[in-house]
Structure 1
Amino acid sequence: MARKAATPTPPPLTWSSTFHLSPSPPPPSLTGDKLLLPQAALETLLEAASQSAANHLQSSSANHDPASWDYIPPHEALARRNDARQQLPHPLTFRVTNLVTGRIAYAGIREFSADEGTIVLSNFLRECLALPSLELQGEQYGAELDDASIKVEAVNIPKGTFARLRPLDAGYEEDWKSVLENHLQKNFTTLVVNNILAVPRLPHQSGKDFKFLIDQVKPEGSEAICIVDTDLEVDIEPLNEEQAKESLRQRELRKKAESSSGGQINIDGPKEGTISDGNFVRFNLKTWNRSKPISINVPEENVDVLVSTDTIQGYPKLEEWTWARFDGSKPIIILPDDPTIISAKELRISLQVYEQTLIDTNSKKPMPPPTNFLLSITQSLQSDSEDEEMTDTTPDTETCSNCKRSIPKRSMMLHQNFCFRNNILCPHGCGQVFKRGTETDHWHCTECKSYGLNTPDRNTYNKHMDIAHTARRCTSCDYSAGSLAELSSHKTTTCPNKLILCRFCHLIVPQEEDTNFTAAITGLAPHENSCGGRTTNCHICERIVQLKNMDVHLKNHDLERKSKPLPRICRNVNCARTKTFEGPTDNQLGLCTVCFGPLYSSAYDPTGQALARRAELRYLTQLLKGCGKSWCTNEMCKTGRANMKPPLPPVPSKEATAMVKPLVTKEGLQAGYYSHPLHFCVDESLSKRKHLAEMLSLADDSQGKGGWAIEWCTKALEVVAHEATDELESLNKAREWLEKFAVRRDE
């Protein structure tokens, strides 16, 4: 067995320094247990790492016995020392101490961008170190800040394998485990026993952050663990028995108000179900007629409809949708020429009750009953513009000036007396008619043309103002929107943190910020534009092409393929070769070079009579003597006629001469490809290739299209003949060639 040098363990990093707390608040990106150090700290850390690595390598190479397993050759030791000079441990972990109070915390590094001599701590670390609150103002805050000296030490923290968390409030669910793992991965480097984690609640939950106590970590005996590059198991247990009972009660209440499961929906296949407050019911539509508009309708006014395509990761949410309906008045109409729907493979629909009444952890009220809904999707060739009111006006009716209804003339006076006394027409011109005493519930928006009617169950005015005229801030970037529609448009188009499935690396990544407006021109997200700069070989021409240009490159191949003329095969019906060039003047017969070879002569023959005699002689030889080949099935050959099933009788000399004369006239031969076919015997490989070409031409491809003409199949088998070893491989390779270079019958 070959001797292998032992892998050296990373040397411990010895470094510490003291900083003053920065007077500026931490930036929004500084979350969890992260801190900012000055640039000088990075330089001293690199020097300390280089010195630690040098000392470690020097001690590990003290054994000069080449036969030892721990022996490191001098050249390898020098290479390791040079590599270690500019390397820091990953991840960098620190013990942070407040020298005033003695409180200790553990942290990871975000950046080396703090001002010289200062340190910037996240809000989580400030709370752990009992530092003054940022809400303090004036001299008190300045005095406490001047006394805040922070000591930072580089420490090696063991990789964690397990963490047990205990929620401080009731109402936690099993899906908190995945939320916690995602929150820890994005914001934390370490976990410290007895610290409290504040995790934002799920999108459909209201209230303050949910808090968890870090009760236990493994490896045991560790005060802190590192959670980067390790498989961490997270377990959640209730704090006490009372909390467990309350969480179980709330879970049972939610089960009683469960929403429908949703699923796949089809055109003209309505779906019924229920929605509980705070939940979404999600459907997906995969097939529809792309030449007709799509109408998505839910008649229940208190059910909101959110629609998006598969270009957005996941299903549509309250702040992330392409089409939406919140007022319950009309269906959602998606036109077939909408750019968003043209390239979509799937429509995704989310239904919700906007005015949520979630369980309050301090309340004993039961969950409200779920809301029923009926979702229907239809398609029609007619334009679904605003419906025109159908009037039933006839010569015997009149329109009431108050309620605008058609009333028979004979009862108009009686109707108007009642109508003006009991009904009120909206003075704002919307045409709504109300019973006296209820007009105060009708509202018109002062900022837009919307209007509606409040009900005892829902305040539609407040809902409209919240959706259409309340400023909102993007949770992923610094963008501020004036309405929910603006925010949704931002999050589904230009938000740099919008998640996309990269078409090149096939990973779900943020699309990044578009600073050069390339997305509007190329249709590629900024990440895809950068990722698509990598190159690969075209599978057709083997040229090196950028990934983002591959579609255009392949379209050029496709245009070139469709513009190719139909190959001309040899005029000999038994041959399976193509005639790639016209050849010399005396090869006007339309034969390939192999079939024309026995007829070639260097003698001067301007009239073509000698060529006709040679062709006649070959025909007569075939008919009277035969070629003697067991595979021959040429009807103009004695052997071929005998091999047919049923066999044909031999042809006498007199009849043979009469059969051949019309085929070898000078005019008929020189007409070439466009004249009658020729029948010359060929070898066994060509005979088999001819049958394969006929079989391949008759077979349609896997997509049920029209297949390829016999000329293309003959060309394909001729190209791959030198690569294939058997018939099956010839057919497979020929199909590959046809897919790349041939033109289908229906193209």
Structure 2
Amino acid sequence: MNRQHAPFSKTLKCYELYDPNHYTDKIIAPQSLLSEIIEYFKSYNDRTKSADNTERNVSAVKARTKSKSSHQYQGTPLIRSSRKIHGAMDSDIDAADSKNVKNPLPRQETAKFTKNFSNFLDHEDDSALIPSPLTFSLSKHTPQTAKTSNQITAKSVCVGIKEFTSEESLVGIPKWIMQELGLKNEDTISLEYKKLPKGTFAQFFTIEPLKSNSNVDLRAIMESFMRKNLTTLSEGQTIQLNSENFECSLQVSRLEPANQVDIVDTDLSVDIEQPNLKNSFGSEPSTLSTDLSHINLVLDVEKSATVDSFKPLWLVFDFNSVKSNPSLELELVINNPSGDLDVFARKGLLLPSELNFEKCDVSGSLEEKSIIINKKDTNTEFGNFYSFAVYPYNTQHVSFTYILKPLIKENTPENSATTTEILEDGIKCKNCNQVIIKRSYLLHEATCYRNNAVCEMCNSVVLKKDLEAGNHTHCELCDFIGSSYEVEKHTHYFHEPVLCPDCPDIGGFLSFMDLSLHRSSSCPSKVIVCRFCHTFVKQGKLSTSPEDILEGFHEHESYCGSRTIQCEICKKNVQLKKIKIHAQTHQLAKQAQGMPFKLCSNTECRYVFDPSPKDPFKSNEYYGNNISGATKSRFYIDNCTSNPLNLCERCFVPLIVLESDPENKILMQRIVNALFRQLMYGCGKSYCMNNECATGNPSVKYSANEAAQHILPSVKSIIELVNNKKNQKAAHPLSLCIDYMCFKHRSVVDRIQDHLMNVSKKQNNSSSNGQSSRPMFSTEWISLAVTKCDLDYENSLKWLYKFAPTS
């Protein structure tokens, strides 16, 4: 049948969404568009469902007619629908249920199923009817008459929907799309729904690299950028990629499986050709020689430089270039400046400025500027880099020299007797309050009153020429003292209100220092290394979710962390930002689990067994039970056989008594015979290490009486254990020779125990807490791990750390 339906289309007026640094293909549509889309797809599904029912009815009638004409009645097909075929009797449906279906449902159950399914379709949520994502072909509206006369297809761009918050009959369109289609505000555009295939491969071509300040991971930047800003890709499309460390233009050269694809919730393989960069993707990108390039600092090397108001000096020091202890302090010193300079610093390969800095020297001194840094001021997320920027202050050009050197702290005496000693024959000067020798007092007094004066605000003695020249001026808002120029500059940076350019709504800040704290903490423009995509991005506004606020997530990390990954333990899909909490629940569950099994009472064996009738591997009594592909060995004896000795299956099978033995006399006889034969003749196994066996311990040479006397304590303790019927260990150990599989199992268990003991000793030695060393896991869990991993040493260790509780 013809299933073609008219595509959804809408004509609206457009306006420009202006954001010069934001490249996106998502538009803002009116709320009425959403309602119309819901109605369109609802009617579309109704028509499709009706057509499907009609086709099924016709096919069923044809099949019935064919079966009647062949005189071999087969019954009508099973119809799981609320509609019945006209003329189809209940007997026909019963026949179909019994003959055509391998596992038929009763007719009443079939009717119940179809009724519930029909109700589900009728009451299904409207949002489930809408495809996700919604993709449209956007083009400039052309009247139908013009289309017919020109026969020219209008240029179009595939777009997605950001939100339905625009005013009625208006749609907000990004600036680049407006330019691409030649649109202006209030122009009429056409939106037509277009279902695109999921993209599997995309090839990009670098057109024009604009900025590259550091070694960047272009693939990670592209993943984060496309996930947040793009819904579709089209061949020939030019993308403006913006990041804090990299800006370039990319062109889509090839797509699969079509020339226009949907890239939402899909695994997209990406290939990037970078002919304009020195290295291809995967190696270190080159640092382009642009005005924004930095200079690498070298310890104890002095250099000269010149800066102007349009080109600051950007210096970067790499702490990885020196082997230093964390407490080493370095000092950047600016010497002999020809004018006033300001020095700003921040961690990472990011250009500092008066709006973005962590440390600064903005003093009005014209002699020397300096900033002290420590390796603790940066971290590995920022590559252990630290950046400095030197700007001229109210000067066009400034020349100077700079050097980065280790900070040398001078030891100053705590007390100096000569500075506080009052001479016995001295006289205190009334002008400067100094104690002067009596014979020099008259000369000092004349000189002091002529050259010095006392400041009325701070009572300090200063030169009169400094007071007259304004070199001793007080800040009216704090205790700062300096020249009038220094006070003016101090007031500019520390007391003048300033607005954050990215947060105009929160009001002003009292000074640039307060602004810098805001820019490095809660400002949406603060540059962070995302914990999930590991790229340099602006953190965005603080999330409104209580969970995100507790975790300190802002807009970007809240969005980026909403992606899901599969938990390796429970195989559930968990959001990235909740994976730590999810892992903690597994850790708590692992530590809280009990021990539904015991170690075999045979001292030569290391297998575990389940003391209860049920199999622990078929229950959920221990945490690692859901490991896929694990070996599931049986560690218990059937209920029909009594195992009062707490032995594992391998050790107890040779002793099994099949006939009636309510008092366990036959069982005790077999145990005595096994112990006696071991001492007298040995087991004959070359790998035997049993000290209670003539083969494993050649020094054992007993006569019959001596052997009987030797095993007597073990036999008495076993009899006591069997008669008491208590689930406990015997007072005297039971040592029975084991088979080769038990020997291999024991060897791996002992090897893991030795390894864990050595790890525990190293940890105790490093902590020096004096505690005795012990393995991290009990022998029972080690035995279970070795069994689950088929005697594999490496995998057993991984299993232990993943599933077993620590002791």
TM bracket (short chain):
0.5 to 0.7
Whether 1:718 aligns to 2:783 is yes
Shift of 1:577: 2.4
Shift of 1:634: 1.6
Whether 1:626 aligns to 2:669 is no
The 1:411/1:533 distance shift into structure 2, 3 A limit, reads farther
The 1:599/1:660 distance shift into structure 2, 3 A limit, reads farther
Residue in structure 2 matching 1:373, options 379, 395, 403: 403
The 1:413/1:636 distance shift into structure 2, 3 A limit, reads farther
Residue in structure 2 matching 1:524, options 553, 563, 572: 553
Identity %: 20
Whether 1:320 aligns to 2:366 is no
Structure 2 residue aligned with 1:487: 515
Shift of 1:90: 5.4
Q: Provide the C-alpha distance between the structure 2 equivalents of 1:579 and 1:416, rounded to a whole number of angstroms.
A: 103
Structure 2 counterpart of 1:462, one-letter code: K
Structure 2 residue aligned with 1:261: 296
Shift of 1:440: 1.3
SS at match of 1:712: coil
Q: Provide the C-alpha distance between the structure 1 equivalents of 2:30 and 2:612, rounded to a whole number of angstroms.
A: 76
The 1:441/1:687 distance shift into structure 2, 3 A limit, reads same
Per-residue CA distance 1:379-404 (angstroms, 9 max, x = gap): x9xxx9xx998655466457988778
Per-residue CA distance 1:417-438 (angstroms, 9 max, x = gap): 5555445565443968557337
Structure 1 segment 288-299 matched on structure 2, within 5 A: 297-298=331-332
Whether 1:551 aligns to 2:580 is yes
Q: Provide the C-alpha distance between the structure 1 equivalents of 2:274 and 2:793, rounded to a whole number of angstroms.
A: 56
Count of residue pairs brought into register by the alignment: 599
Structure 1 counterpart of 2:796, one-letter code: K
Shift of 1:624: 0.9
The 1:163/1:638 distance shift into structure 2, 3 A limit, reads closer
Per-residue CA distance 1:270-293 (angstroms, 9 max, x = gap): 88766753132233558999x998
The 1:562/1:11 distance shift into structure 2, 3 A limit, reads closer
Structure 1 residue aligned with 2:458: 429
Structure 1 residue aligned with 2:138: 92
Question: Does the Cα contact within 8 Å between 1:259 and 1:370 map onto a contact in 2?
Answer: no
SS at match of 2:516: helix
Q: Provide the C-alpha distance between the structure 2 equivalents of 1:329 and 1:401, rounded to a whole number of angstroms.
A: 37
The 1:626/1:45 distance shift into structure 2, 3 A limit, reads closer
Per-residue CA distance 1:721-747 (angstroms, 9 max, x = gap): 45435x4x3432333323442437xxx
Structure 1 residue aligned with 2:388: 351
The 1:668/1:481 distance shift into structure 2, 3 A limit, reads farther
Shift of 1:627: 1.8
Shift of 1:686: 1.6
Shift of 1:521: 2.9
Question: Does the Cα contact within 8 Å between 2:294 and 2:316 map onto a contact in 1?
Answer: no
SS at match of 1:485: helix
Q: Provide the C-alpha distance between the structure 2 equivalents of 1:678 and 1:410, rounded to a whole number of angstroms.
A: 106
Shift of 1:622: 0.5
The 1:316/1:472 distance shift into structure 2, 3 A limit, reads same
SS at match of 2:404: strand
Unmatched segments (≥5 aa) in structure 1: 1-7, 54-82, 97-104, 132-147, 166-171, 190-198, 205-213, 220-225, 237-250, 264-268, 360-366, 643-647
Residue in structure 2 matching 1:503, options 531, 537, 540: 531
Whether 1:283 aligns to 2:348 is no
Structure 2 residue aligned with 1:447: 477
Per-residue CA distance 1:597-626 (angstroms, 9 max, x = gap): 749974179xxxx99887654332111122
Shift of 1:14: 10
Q: Provide the C-alpha distance between the structure 2 equivalents of 1:627 and 1:259, rounded to a whole number of angstroms.
A: 79
Question: Does the Cα contact within 8 Å between 1:306 and 1:322 map onto a contact in 2?
Answer: yes
Whether 1:738 aligns to 2:798 is no
Per-residue CA distance 1:528-580 (angstroms, 9 max, x = gap): 44665666664445577655443234335445656789997445332112476
The 1:454/1:558 distance shift into structure 2, 3 A limit, reads farther
Q: Provide the C-alpha distance between the structure 1 equivalents of 2:458 and 2:576, rounded to a whole number of angstroms.
A: 58
Q: Provide the C-alpha distance between the structure 2 equivalents of 1:173 and 1:279, rounded to a whole number of angstroms.
A: 19
SS at match of 2:697: helix
The 1:94/1:32 distance shift into structure 2, 3 A limit, reads farther
SS at match of 1:374: strand
Q: Provide the C-alpha distance between the structure 2 equivalents of 1:534 and 1:161, rounded to a whole number of angstroms.
A: 24
Question: Does the Cα contact within 8 Å between 2:344 and 2:357 map onto a contact in 1?
Answer: no
Query: Which moves more between the two structures, 715-724 or 400-409?
Result: 400-409
Supply the RMSD in Å over aligned alpha carbons: 7.4
Residue in structure 2 matching 1:475, options 499, 502, 524: 502
SS at match of 1:350: strand
Structure 2 counterpart of 1:693, one-letter code: V
SS at match of 1:373: strand
Q: Provide the C-alpha distance between the structure 2 equivalents of 1:253 and 1:537, rounded to a whole number of angstroms.
A: 44
Whether 1:695 aligns to 2:725 is no
Shift of 1:654: 5.1
Whether 1:304 aligns to 2:331 is no
Question: Does the Cα contact within 8 Å between 2:332 and 2:402 map onto a contact in 1?
Answer: no
Per-residue CA distance 1:162-208 (angstroms, 9 max, x = gap): 9999xxxxxx98769x99x99x999999xxxxxxxxx9x9999xxxx
Structure 2 counterpart of 1:282, one-letter code: V
Per-residue CA distance 1:105-156 (angstroms, 9 max, x = gap): 999999987767899999999999xx9xxxxxxxxxxxxxxxx996546699
The 1:577/1:638 distance shift into structure 2, 3 A limit, reads same
Shift of 1:515: 3.6
The 1:428/1:731 distance shift into structure 2, 3 A limit, reads same
Question: Does the Cα contact within 8 Å between 2:345 and 2:358 map onto a contact in 1?
Answer: yes
The 1:11/1:358 distance shift into structure 2, 3 A limit, reads farther
Structure 1 segment 595-606 matched on structure 2, within 5 A: 595=651, 598=655, 602-603=662-663
SS at match of 2:663: coil
Structure 1 residue aligned with 2:56: none
The 1:16/1:330 distance shift into structure 2, 3 A limit, reads closer
Shift of 1:637: 1.2
Question: Does the Cα contact within 8 Å between 2:598 and 2:610 map onto a contact in 1?
Answer: yes
Query: Which moves more between the two structures, 501-510 or 487-496?
Result: 501-510
TM-score, length of structure 1 as denominator length: 0.55
Shift of 1:261: 0.7
The 1:424/1:495 distance shift into structure 2, 3 A limit, reads same
Q: Provide the C-alpha distance between the structure 1 equivalents of 2:27 and 2:798, rounded to a whole number of angstroms.
A: 61
Shift of 1:374: 2.5
Unmatched segments (≥5 aa) in structure 2: 45-128, 143-154, 193-202, 232-239, 254-259, 264-269, 277-287, 336-340, 614-638, 765-772
Q: Provide the C-alpha distance between the structure 2 equivalents of 1:113 and 1:541, rounded to a whole number of angstroms.
A: 40
Structure 1 segment 334-349 matched on structure 2, within 5 A: 348-349=385-386
Question: Does the Cα contact within 8 Å between 1:275 and 1:352 map onto a contact in 2?
Answer: no
The 1:463/1:603 distance shift into structure 2, 3 A limit, reads same
Query: Which moves more between the two structures, 511-520 or 559-568?
Result: 559-568
Question: Does the Cα contact within 8 Å between 1:561 and 1:742 map onto a contact in 2?
Answer: yes
